[in-house]
Each structure stands twice: as C-alpha cells, then as structure tokens.
Amino acid sequence: MIILRRYGADTVISGIPLITRNAMDFKSSPTLETGDVKYSVDDGSQSDFSPLSDYVTVAPSGSNQVKISLNAGLMCAKRLVITFIDQSTTKEWEDQRIIVETYGDPDAQHPYLGQSIGSVDVATIKGDDIITYEINSNTVAIAAVAPSGNWLTDAGVWSDSLAYALDQAASNISMYLDTSVSSRLAESSYIPPANTEINETLEKVGNIQETASETLETMGEIQSLLQSVYNGGSGAHHVTVTVTDGTNPLPGVLVRINRSGEVYALQTQLDGKAEFMLDGGTWTVRLHKAAYEAPATTLVVSGDTQAQYTMSAIGIVPPGDPELCTVYCYCYDNNTMPAPGIQISFQMLLPPPSDTGRAYSGNITTAISNESGLAQAVLRREATYRVRRGTGIWRRFVVADAEYMELPAIVGAEKGL
C-alpha cells in the first residue's frame, strides 16, 4: 500500500486494515504490542515506534481499523516504510506493510506534486559551477550562484554553465512528469492527479521553455558584464598583490579591489600573486579563501605598486566529546563575498539509531557566521537534523560519525530581504 503525504507536516493515516491470521476477514480489536510496528526512513534501519500508543492505535476503539499518527520530524523524509508483524507466539493477524511517500518539498520523494509550479527551486551542476535558480509560471529567475574552483578566471565558462542551467529548467520538470508521475500510473494503489492538473502543468512547462529560450539571448550581455567586473582593470599603474599564509604563497585567493563605482577581482596564481592595472587613488582590498581570513585593508596607489598581505588559517573548533561532531559552512552575500552575521538554524528530527534511554530536545538552535562567513555548530553524531539559512527552505541531513563535517549546500534569505 503506497500513500502520499506532504513533506514535513504532521499527518494521520486512518482506516488501515489488519487481516485475521489464516483467514480473509479484517481483524477486529487487533492487539498491538511494542515491537509489532516498526518504521524505516529513506531505506535506513528499522526502528520501533516508542511509545507505540503515541503513534499507532485502534481507532475507533474495538473496530477493525488502525490509525497511524506521524509527526513533522518523521515526515522530513522521502519515504517511510511502516511494517506490521505480530510478534506474539500465536499470531492474531497477517503481516502488513505501508509505504508513505512525501511530496511538495525539494527534498521530498515527489518534489513538484502538491505545490504550484509557480515556485520550484532547482539546482543544476555543470563542471565546477553550482547554479540555483527559481522557476516561476512564466519566468526563470536566477536566485544564487555558488562558485567553486577558479570560475572567476573565465567568465565564458560561467556563462555557458548559466545557459545550461536555464536550458535544463524545463526539461527537469518534463523528465519528472515522464519518469515519476507516469510510472506511478502503473501502481494500482496510486491515485493520479486529474488530467486537467497534468495538462495545466504541461502548459506551464511550455511557458518556461519559451522563457528560457528568450533568456538565453541575453547571455552575451551577461558575459560582457562579468568580464568587465571580474578582471584586473585597465588603469595607468601596475599593481601586484601577493598573498601568503605568513610563510608560503596562497593560490586561489579571491582578491577584490574597489572604490566608488569601480570593482575589480582576480584570483591569485600558484605564486600567490594577482596582477591589476589601477588608476591612482585610495582603494579597499578584501581577500577571501575558504578556511582562511584577513581583515579588509586600504591600498593607496600613486604609481606601480607592490602590496603584500597575509591570511590566517581559520580553526574549526573541535567538539571535545566523542559523541559530538562540529558541522560548518561558509556564508556568502549576493556578490559571493563572505557574509558575517548570517543565522544558520538547526533542529534535531531523529536521534541516532543506536541510542536508547535518552530524550533529546527538538528545539531549534542557531549559529551565526563570523567575519569570514564561517558558521559552525556542535551536533550529535549520527542524528538526523534539518538546517536552513535565514528564512530559507529546510534541508535534511545526517551528522557524520566524525569530529568534523561540512554541511550540504543551502540557499536562504535573511528576514526583511
């Protein structure tokens, strides 16, 4: 039996029948004891509902119907498999299995069912670039770009990746309709959406495809804009910036130099140097490299200039407890620069599978990013949590059995933005 329920929301499944052992009749007033009903999350190991009466009951009392109540934490999953097996020596009823699949969230089994096509977040990866974009009914809007590698050195590569992402927007939804919804039609227990809903969705996909084609025509303008910003300038003076860790050169440092109305950015090469051509005046220099930090500084240019800067390694704070893990991420602003003061929220959904005799808090805890954009928190190893930035969408993850863990990529906006 396959049942659809909304991702991350409390739900009740009523009217579940249990068949009398070695008979064809529904079992009235079935006896349910601890261990008779187990669940697994996303193909994980089976766990008992505990206490059983909080989750599984005969309702109405004395009837042949079983009711399952699932909380929002359990529903933060793609699929739950619930198994009924009578553990008594003389079994009263036959084995039963129910599969609960979720919808209406990017992390759900069916992310697009149950939500308007007017708000779908999609992530596309091409090469070293991760592009997140939002699909609206008639528009495709870029939501964020998370750079990795040396993408700033070649605006054309970024532009090609952006074009690829836009082109994939509609095809991702079309593929979902073909592979997910269509396959479900073959399942006798699945109730498909009305034909009118599918037709309306296909019409909106067509609109998205048209909009994506129109948007691709602007790629040349975007590439020109990137090339005008992410370069070393064309001023009168040769400025060489050298970045080290105090001893050795640091390659791959993003060096951003700006003053009112002008912004230039380059990455340091293997020798730790970046070459700019700047006009005379006072400039602000900011440096960024993952796991390193340096304060913003002022650079006065009056001729050819040699400037040297040192970045310090950022220490991830060890948890100091073998049951705990330090999780961390780097926060960025709209210009992909380190963003301090960003709130990252965490909430435990499920304890570690091996834990017994403990009652954990399900309250939301937060971490705030520092001047380098680094946010870190200490969480219980092997527990299931959800995380989000600001007011963004929650994302579910399992904490590694290790001292440190880098969080999965997330996208979110701060309040009031």
Q: Using one digit for the tens of pLDDT, what is the confidence trace for 393-408?
A: 899 999 999 888 889 8
Rounded to 10°, the helix 155-176/219-229 angle is: 140
Q: Give the type of residue at 368.
A: I
> Could you tell me the pLDDT band of residue 118, with boundaries at 50, 70 and 90?
very low
Q: Using one digit for the tens of pLDDT, what is the confidence trace for 352-396?
A: 998 899 999 999 999 999 887 889 999 999 999 999 999 888 999
CATH class given for the domain over 2-103: mainly beta
Residue 49 contacts residue 37 (beta carbons within 8 Å):
yes
Residue 241 contacts residue 273 (beta carbons within 8 Å):
yes
Q: Using one digit for the tens of pLDDT, what is the confidence trace for 43-100?
A: 889 999 989 999 999 999 989 999 999 999 899 999 999 999 999 989 999 999 999 9
- The pLDDT of residue 409: 86
Q: Which two tokens stand for residue 263?
A: 């912004």
324-406 topology per CATH = Immunoglobulin-like (2.60.40)
- The pLDDT of residue 354: 87
Sign for the CA dihedral angle at 291, 296, 297, 298 comes to positive
232-313 topology per CATH = Immunoglobulin-like (2.60.40)
Average per-residue pLDDT for the chain: 78
d(CA 137, CA 125): 23
Residue 132 contacts residue 121 (beta carbons within 8 Å):
yes
Sign for the CA dihedral angle at 278, 263, 371, 127 comes to negative
DSSP one-letter string for 10-55: -EEEEEE--BBTTSSSBPSS----TTSEEEEETT---EE-SSHHHH
Residue 74 contacts residue 66 (beta carbons within 8 Å):
no
Residue 281's CB is within 10 A of a number of other CB atoms, namely 14
Q: Using one digit for the tens of pLDDT, what is the confidence trace for 14-36?
A: 999 999 988 888 899 999 999 99
Q: Give the type of residue at 239.
A: V
> Does the pLDDT of residue 246 top 80, yes or no?
yes
Per-domain residue ranges of the chain: 2-103, 120-226, 232-313, 324-406
**Domains 2-103 and 232-313 are alike in CATH topology:** yes
42-61 burial: b if 16+ Cβ within 10 Å, else e: eeeeeeebeeeeebbebbee
Sign for the CA dihedral angle at 270, 272, 275, 276 comes to positive
Does residue 218 come out as left (phi exceeding 0), alpha (psi in the -120 to 50 range) or beta? alpha
